[in-house]
Structure 1
Amino acid sequence: MKKTLRRTAVVTGAATAAFGLTLSPASAVPSTVWTVTPSPAEFTATNVSNIVLTATIPMTCTTSGASGALQSNTGNPATVAGINAINFGTSGSPCTSVLGNVTTVAVTPWTVVAQDYTASTGVTKGHVGNVRANVTAGACKFTVVGKASATYTNSTGVLAVNSVAGDLAVSSNPAPVNCGSVVTVNTRPTFRGNYAVKARGTSTIPTIVGSNP
């Protein structure tokens, strides 16, 4: 009977220790508190460099703008802004490519997601998420989906979008039309460009600060 009790105690102790090891890492890492100032607030963003979508061939826009809303949040990753509208090019300054003028229609909302903050530089790393855009370049039509890696710098208010291969994809539903081998469902587009962000109607540069309680 004593041996049975000792074996039970050993098993119970081991199970408790294992359970503790399982919980400790998760409980030791608190969720990041993302403080956005001002919040909540609407924002506008204007490109400060050419916006380039490359899907085998580069498609360049000299004019682009976006608008949406900023918000503080908790979590990691966490959504700190929603992009409710974004445009690429204008009738007087269209986006261009070797296939012809490019029209891009964004299907919003997109999101701005924060994942890592460096206090010494005031830079937040994350991505622009929920990306979906219908692109027409000449006769070629295709849809881009996914996310785009990005950083936000508090001192300048610049959202720098710099996606890497694999962030974005060409949708198979709908599949590319009249694109031949130039753009296929196996194409991995990249999206790059910098946007200056301001609180709507002001010259105020929003800030994003991440901290762990």
Structure 2
Amino acid sequence: MKKNTRRSAIVVCAAASALGLAVGPSSAVPSTVWTVTPSPAAFKATNVGNIVLTATIPMTCTVSGAEGTMNSATGNPGDVADITTMTFGSSASPCTSVLGNVTTTSVVPWDVIAVDYNASTGVTKGHIGNVKAQVTAGACKFTVVGKASATYTNSTGVLAVSSVVGDLSVSSSPAPVNCGSVVTTATKPTFKGNYAVKVKSTNAIPTIVGSNP
């Protein structure tokens, strides 16, 4: 009986140790101080490759850009930049879809929100928040709201937007118009594309560093 008790105790301890090792790395304290360089500063972002908004059907933009201001921040999540201008397409290069040309009017400001920083890669994970855009594709009109998951890489200055299903939704106020069953309030849009970020009027790449002093 004593032998079985000792064996059980050893098994329990080993399991506890293994569990401690498993949960240890994921319980790291998240960054609460976000150092943006330069700060404060104006920035400009230009698409690298196509930008695609999908709401049942893909809507592709070959031209897209953003402007705003960036600042260091404290807290988690941290608001490290405000997007005050967000454009999709142009008169010369409109966004397109199977329903026809697409016009998107962004209701700004949008926010760049930092949540996690990897010091070894220089990559910040977070999302674009407070997203609201009025979309017209042919006769179909609808409004997209929510957020879009994103990462920012210091070495390249690329803001990679890659929302997942559930980040964005189609607003019920106003409800979609002339969209039939193609776009409804049950539709879960996605927003994907890369943007090269520079300090405005320069070629300097801004950086974001998260820490917890």
TM range (shorter): 0.7 to 0.9
Aligned Cα RMSD in Å? 1.1
The alignment partner of 1:49 has SS state of strand
Contact kept, 8 Å, 2:30 with 2:76, in 1: the verdict is no
Alpha-carbon offset, residue 29 of structure 1? 4.9
Paired AA for residue 43 in structure 1 = F
Tell me which residue corresponds to 2:72: 72
Q: Which residue of 1 aligns with 2:124?
A: 124
Cα distance 1:31–1:196, how it changes in 2: closer, same or farther (>3 A)?
A: closer
What SS does structure 2 have at the residue aligned with 1:185? coil
Q: Deviations over 1:134-182 (max 9, x none)?
A: 0000000000000000000000000000000000000000000000000
Q: Which residue of structure 2 aligns with residue 200 of structure 1?
A: 200
Q: How does 1:51-70 map to 2 (within 5 A)?
A: 51-70=51-70
SS of aligned partner of 1:104: strand
After TM superposition, list the pairs within 5 Å mapping 1:92-171 onto structure 2.
Answer: 92-171=92-171
Separation in 2 of the partners of 1:31 and 1:42?
Answer: 24
Report the number of matched residues: 186
- Inter-partner Cα distance in structure 2 for 1:30 and 1:116: 6
Aligned residue identity for 1:209: V
Letter in 1 for 2:97: S
Post-superposition offset of 1:49: 1.2
1:32 deviates by: 1.1
Residue ranges of structure 1 left out of the alignment (5+ in a row): 1-27
Contact kept in structure 1, 2:69 and 2:83, CA below 8 Å: yes
The unaligned stretches of length 5 or more in structure 2 are 1-27
Compute the displacement of 1:206 (Å). Answer: 0.2
CA distance in structure 1 between the aligned counterparts of 2:83 and 2:106, rounded to whole angstroms: 10
Structure 2 Cα separation of the partners of residues 131 and 65 of structure 1: 15
Q: Which residue does the alignment assign to 1:177?
A: 177
Name the structure 1 match of 2:11: none
Q: Distance in 1 between matches of 2:79 and 2:55?
A: 27
* Seq. identity, %: 78
1:78-97 residue pairs with structure 2 within 5 A?
Answer: 78-97=78-97
Q: For the Cα contact (< 8 Å) 2:56–2:182, is it kept in 1?
A: yes
**What letter corresponds to residue 198 of structure 2 in structure 1?**
K
Moved over 4 A (4+): 28-31
**Paired AA for residue 38 in structure 1:** P
Counterpart of 1:130, as a letter, is: N
For residues 24-78 of structure 1, what are the alpha-carbon distances to aligned partners after superposition, in whole Å with 9 as ceiling and x for unaligned?
Answer: xxxx958610000000000000000100000000000000010000000011101
Give distance in 2, aligned partners of 1:51 and 1:129.
17
Is 1:210 matched up with 2:210? yes
